[in-house]
Amino acid sequence: MSKVLMKGNEAMALAAIKAGVEAFYGYPITPQNELPEYMSKHMAEHDRVFVQSESEVAAINMVYGAAGAGARVMTSSSSPGIALKQEGISYIAGAELPAVIINVMRGGPGLGGIQPSQGDYKQITRGGGNGDYYLYSLAPESLQEAVDLIKEAFDIADYFRNPVMIAVDGLIGQMMEPVDFDHPVPKWDLPPKTWAADGNRKNGREKNIINSLYLDPAVLEQHNLKLKAKYDEMKRDHQRYEMINMESADIVIVAFGSTARIARTAVEILADNGIRCGIIRPIAIFPFPTNAFDEIPDHVKDILVVEMNTGQMVDDVRLADKCRRNIHFYGRVGGIVPEAEEIVEQVMTIVGGDN
Amino acid sequence: MKRITILAGHYGSGKSEISVNLALANQIDYIVDLDIINPYFRSRALGELFEERGIHLVESTIKGMLGSDLPYVSGEAAVPFVNKKLTAIYDLGGTENGGRVLIQFKDRITDRENIDLFYVVNLYRPETDNKDKIIRAIRALECEAQLPVTGLINNTNLMQHTTEAIVMEGQAVLLEVGKELDLPIVYTVIEETHHFPGPFAGETIILSRIVAEKWL
C-alpha cells in the first residue's frame, strides 16, 4: 500500500518522523492535539525524544536548546499557543538556529475559538516576536502537500539556519485524506552543522556559543544585516506559488491553504457559468509570491482576496500588484469556513459590476 | 439491529459517519455522541437534521456551547440504557480510551443481550493496518469499556481512491480477526458513489457522507 488514510495532524507528525526529526517538544491545545499524541506514541519507537512540557514557553525553549545542540527539532501548537512561543521563536531566529514550528490555526484573538481560522497571517509573515527577523512560512492546502512540505521544511530550516513555520488551519489538521509518505521531495544541499554546541570538541575546534545577545551596537548591526541577507535571498530565490487557470482568466482570486481549496471549487462553478477565474495560490506566505502578480494577464482588472480572517493578506496583495488592479476582499471569521458558493457570489458581483 | 448499538474504533475509522447513516436508515430513537476525546466534528446542521427526522441527539457538549473545548457527558446519555423501550446508537471517541466513558453506565446496563458493541476498522489507517494491531486494539477497548465487542465493521477505504479490491483486502484481514476472536463481520461499508457489486461479508451499508458535508 503506497497510500494510507490519515488525519492531518497525524500525517504531519509522521512526515516529521520521516524527515528525521530527533526531538519534539509540545503542549496540548485543540485543534492540533493528535500531533503531539502521535509523537508521544511513536517517537519512542524510533528511539527519539518526546517531551510534553509544562507550557508552550517551556516547549519552545527546549526547541531552542535542542536546535543549538544540532538536533532536528520540532514543536507544534495552535494560535494562542504559538503566540506564547513568540519570545523563544525570536531567540531561535536571533541565534540562527533551524527548527520547524507547526501552527494549526484557530479563531482569535485571545483564546478565540477552536474552529479553523487563518487569523495569524500577519503574525506569521512579519516574524511574530521582537526584532528584525522572518520565518520561512509554508501554507499547504492538502495533506499530501503538508507532508511533502514538512519533509522539506527541515532541510530549508537547516539551509537558512532559521525557523520554518508550517501554517495550516484547523480544517487541515482535522481532515482525512489519502497520503503517500514516499512521495519524493527536493533535497537541499546542506553543509555540516559545524556551529552546533554539541559538546564534540575532540577535533580541537573553538567553543561554539549559541546566543542572541549582542551588546555592541556595531556588532549587532552586522548581525542584523547578516540576517537580512538571508531574508533577501528567500524573497529573491525562494518564492513558492501555484498559478491556476491563469492564461484564460478574466478575474483572479488570491487564497492560501484550505481557502485556496475552496476557491478551486468556486472556480469550477464559475466556469460552468461562463466566468473565467484564475487563482494565485501562495504556497509560501513568507516570502510572499510577488512574482506571481507580474504573470497575471494584462486585461485582468480585478483581484479578489479570500481568507479566513478580516483581510490580513490584502496589504501584501496590494504591494505585490503595485496598484495595477482593483483589490477586493471576502473573508469569514470566528471559525466559520467560507463555502464555494459564497466566493462565487462575490466574483459574480465584481464581474457584474464591470458590465 | 439490537436495541442498542455502540460503535467504537480508532479515530478516523469512520465511526461517526457510520453512526449517523445507521441512525437515519433505522429510524432509531436516540443517537448519543460519546466522543469526548475530539470535540471538533460537531455541527448545528447535523442537530437540525436529526430533529427533522424525529431522532433525539445527545451531544457531547453543553447545550448551546457547540464550540466548547470541554469534555462533557450529558446525564441524558444514560436514558436509553434505563428506558428499555428506546432504541439507540452510541458513537464512542477514537482509540481504546474512548471506551472508558462507558464504565459509568455499568450499573445501568442490565440487558447486555440487547446491546451490541461493534468495532469499526479501516485497514488503510496505519494504527489498524494488520491483524495483530486490530486484535490488540479490540482487547484494549474491551478492558476500557468493560463490555465485550460483539461484531466487526469493515470500513476499509481510501476515500475517492477506494476500489473493490481494497474493500476485499480489509475483509480478508477482518475474517482472520473474526476467526481468532470468534466475531462476525456484521457490516461492510461502501460509499454510495462507488457502486461495487459485492457480495461482501455481513450486511452492506451504502454510506452517504453526511457528517463531513454538514461540518464543512
Cell of A150: 514538512
- Please report, rounded to a whole number, the percentage of residues in chain A having pLDDT higher than 70: 99
Q: How far is CA A107 from CA A7, A343, B6, B116, in A?
A: 20, 20, 33, 39
Residue A1, pLDDT score: 55
For residue B50, the distance in angstroms to the closest alpha carbon of chain A comes to: 22
Tell me the per-residue pLDDT of A75-118, one tens digit each, with 9 for 90 and over.
999 999 999 999 999 999 999 999 999 999 999 999 999 999 99
Which residue among A115, A178, A335 sits closest to B158, beta carbon to beta carbon?
A178
Return all residues near B66 (Cβ < 8 A) that are at least 6 apart.
Answer: B42, B43, B44
Q: Per residue in B17-39, pLDDT tens?
A: 999 999 999 999 999 988 877 66
pLDDT for A201: 80
What is the ipTM for the molecules in this complex? 0.85
Report the C-alpha gap between A132 and A224 in whole angstroms.
7
The answer to whether the beta carbons of residues A137 and A165 sit under 8 Å apart is: yes
Mutate to test the interface with B, among A1, A2, A5 (most CBs of B within 10 A): A5
Tell me which residue of A5, A303, A235, A45 sits closest to B10, measured CA to CA: A5
Question: What integer pLDDT is reported at residue A200 of this predicted model?
Answer: 81
Tell me whether residues B124 and A113 touch, CB distance under 8 A: no
User: Can you tell me the distance from the alpha carbon of A12 to that of B12, in angstroms, rounded to the nearest whole number?
Assistant: 15
CA-angle at A343, arms to A342 and A345, nearest 5°: 65
To the nearest whole Å, the CA of A336 is away from the closest chain B CA by 9
pLDDT above 60: residue A355: no
Nearest chain B Cα distance for residue A5, angstroms:
5
Beta partners for residue B89, in sequence order: B5, B31
Q: How far apart are CA A35 and CA A161, in angstroms?
A: 24
Task: State how far the Cα of A41 lies from the Cα of A22, in Å rounded to an integer.
Answer: 14
Q: What is the pLDDT of residue A203?
A: 76
Closest-CA residue to A275 (of A259, A252, A243, A294): A252
Contact between A141 and A281 under an 8 Å Cβ cutoff? The reply is yes
Query: Which of 3.40.50.1950, 1.10.357.10, 3.30.590.10, 3.40.50.920 is the CATH number of A241-354?
Result: 3.40.50.920
Residue B216 pLDDT > 60, yes or no?
no
pLDDT for position B66: 63
Output the pLDDT for position B93: 81
Q: What are B168-203's pLDDT values in tens digits?
A: 999 999 999 999 999 999 999 999 999 999 899 999
Q: Residue A344 above 50 pLDDT?
A: yes
Can you give the three-state secondary structure of A54-101, one letter per residue? Answer: CCHHHHHHHHHHHHHCCCCEEEEECHHHHHHCHHHHHHHHHCCCCEEE
Where in chain A are the domains?
4-195+226-237, 241-354
A3–B12 CB contact, under 8 Å: no
Instruction: Say yes or no to pLDDT of B215 above 80.
Output: no
In chain B, positions 52-111, which contact chain A (CB-CB < 8 Å)? 67, 69
State how far the alpha carbon of B93 is from the alpha carbons of A115, A310, B109, B147, in Å: 19, 34, 19, 15
Tally A–B CB contacts below 8 A: 51
User: H helices of A161-216, where?
Assistant: 170-174
Cell numbers of A196, please?
A: 552546533
Cα A349 from Cα A345, distance rounded (Å): 6
| Sequence-ordered list of residues with C-beta below 8 angstroms from that of B189, at least 6 positions apart, any chain | B14, B18, B153, B154, B155, B157, B204, B205, B207
Residue A236 cell numbers, joined: 529573491
Q: Out of 3.40.50.10490, 3.40.50.970, 3.40.640.10, 3.40.50.720, which CATH number does the structure's domain A4-195+226-237 have? A: 3.40.50.970
SS3 A353: helix
Supply the angle between the helices A257-272 and A340-354 in degrees, to the nearest 10. Answer: 60
Averaged confidence pLDDT in chain A: 96
Query: Rounded to a whole number, what is the distance in Å from the CA of A215 to chain B's nearest CA?
Result: 45
Which residue ranges form the domains of chain B, and what is each CATH number?
4-215 (3.40.50.300)
CATH fold match for the domains A4-195+226-237 and A241-354? yes
Confidence (pLDDT) at B47: 84
Contact A1 B69 (CB under 8 A): no
The answer to whether B129 faces chain A, any CB pair under 8 Å, is yes
If you count them, how many residues does chain B have? 216
CA–CA distances in Å: residue B207 to residues A38, A255, A314, B187: 29, 32, 41, 11
Contact B51, B69 (CB under 8 A): no
Name the packing angle between helices A143-160 and A217-237 (round to 10°): 140
